[in-house]
Amino acid sequence: MAPELPAVPRAERRRRSATARRDRRCGRPARRADARGIVSDAPKTTRRGLLAMWPRTRAPSRPGPPELPEQEVRAALAALAPGAPSIAEKGRPAHLDRLLGRGSAAPDDARGPRSQRGRALPVLPVVRPPGAVHERLFVERCDGCGACVEACPHGVIVPLDARHGAVAGTPTIVGRDAPCRMCPDMPCLDACDRGALSEHASTRIGVAEIRQYDCLSWSGTICSTCVERCPVEAIETRDGRPRVAQEVCTGCGECQHRCPAPRNAILIVARPERVT
């Protein structure tokens, strides 16, 4: 018959219970307490214990964006719009200061009331009306008279606002707001007497590009709006996803105008032959 062990006082039981709870929190191996003292059992590995034993190493920080040299930024902007004199004649534009990380180009008081202020836009190739010549010649010839704007029967052609700097007032077409109807008689082309719109130039004003990260079809949602709305059938579906045939697309912007994605997935860009 096994000998009886003496009773453990209450204070000792509380101390051992607290020790056991602390061991569990810290992930230490479980220990069994009896009247003869605390005896360690075989270690029981827990998830918390493994994490506590594993050396903590911090993930390497990602490098920040490279700083753009001022000369490279100026050269890039000049290549985008060779005929625009705003960079050379008007000094450093506001957007160039932001690209270089030098803050705002002018104080709030100099830029007018907050409700009337707008962000200065970089000089980028814009979509011109049908028949537009090379961008360099277009900027030299167009005086912003607005004849093509008035001649458009659908109100599609609009002048660029003051945020576009030296090219403000020249005509453009924003497909998201109103797509070009590609009129057979091209009244806008006939209204231009400065040679900025020529019948010898291409009537294709741009080309559509699909931003896959914003497109519903590329995200797994069934959508074929751009395929159904394209007037020249330049968009086709492959594997359930829309793709643009650039040799057929006219850049009218109908697909961009009809795109139902929360963030419009269609981008109309000027044709490369007009800006190179």
- Residue 89 pLDDT greater than 50, yes or no: no
Distance, in Å, from the CA atom of 118 to the CA atom of 247, rounded to the nearest integer, reads 36
Cβ within 8 Å of residue 13, ≥6 positions away: none
Across 49-58, 83-92, 138-147, 220-229, least confident range:
83-92
pLDDT band per the 50, 70, 90 thresholds, residue 78:
low
Q: What is the pLDDT of residues 243-264, one digit of tens each?
A: 999 999 999 999 999 999 999 9
More confident residue, 172 or 57: 172
Across 57-61, 114-118, 144-148, 154-158, least confident range:
114-118
- Residue 46 pLDDT greater than 90, yes or no: no
Domains 92-105+119-204 and 206-276 in one fold? yes
Confidence at residue 136, expressed as pLDDT on a 0 to 100 scale: 87
- Give mean pLDDT, residues 55-67: 58
pLDDT band per the 50, 70, 90 thresholds, residue 49:
low
Q: What are phi and psi of 33, to 5 degrees?
A: -105, 135
pLDDT band per the 50, 70, 90 thresholds, residue 113:
very low
For the beta carbon of residue 276, count every other beta carbon within 10 angstroms.
11
The residues spanned by each domain of the chain are 92-105+119-204, 206-276
The stretches of 147-249 forming alpha helices (DSSP H) are 147-151, 187-191, 225-229
Second CATH level (architecture) for the domain 92-105+119-204? 2-Layer Sandwich (3.30)
Tell whether pTM > 0.75.
no
The SS3 of residue 22 is: helix
Distance, in Å, from the CA atom of 224 to the CA atom of 237, rounded to the nearest integer, reads 8
Classify domain 206-276 by CATH number: 3.30.70.20
User: Quick one: which of 267, 250, 259 has its CA closest to 217?
Assistant: 259
Confidence at residue 42, expressed as pLDDT on a 0 to 100 scale: 47
- Residue 90 pLDDT greater than 70, yes or no: no
- Measure Cα distances from 160 to 80, 156, 164, 166 in Å: 17, 12, 7, 10
- Residue 91 pLDDT greater than 50, yes or no: no
Two structure tokens written together for 44: 């029981």
Distance, in Å, from the CA atom of 261 to the CA atom of 242, rounded to the nearest integer, reads 13
User: Quick one: which of 215, 217, 235 has its CA closest to 226?
Assistant: 235
pLDDT band per the 50, 70, 90 thresholds, residue 231:
very high
Distance, in Å, from the CA atom of 237 to the CA atom of 76, rounded to the nearest integer, reads 35
